[in-house]
Amino acid sequence: MKFMDILLNQKIFSVMYNISITNLLKEVDVDSKYIAIEVNGEIIPKSKYDDYLLKNNDRVEIITAVGGG
């Protein structure tokens, strides 16, 4: 199995080569319901999480929505 490094929320993570955003979220145990994903400064639509494959040294940010009133 091949691994690569990504920068996830400003920390280096070693993940499987060509991991999808969906599988990354499962690996780090994050529910995709109230989040947005940014890869290298670009917001990725939820509809593309299954097909979007991360590459070595990608910068990934998981942005969580905060509710309140």
Chain-centroid distance of CA 4 in Å reads 14
Q: Is the pLDDT of residue 6 over 70?
A: yes
Asked if residue 69 belongs to a domain, the reply is no
pLDDT of residue 31: 86
Does residue 49 contact residue 27 with C-beta atoms inside 8 Å?
Answer: no
Does residue 55 contact residue 7 with C-beta atoms inside 8 Å?
Answer: no
CA distance 53 to 57: 12
pTM above 0.85, yes or no: yes
Q: What would the pLDDT profile of 13-39 be if each residue is shown by its tens digit?
A: 999 999 999 999 999 999 888 899 999
Number of structural domains the chain divides into: 1
Q: Find the CATH number of the domain harbouring 13.
A: 3.10.20.30
pLDDT of residue 12: 97
> Which has the closest alpha carbon to 56: 3, 11, 10, 20?
3
Range of 8's domain? Answer: 3-64
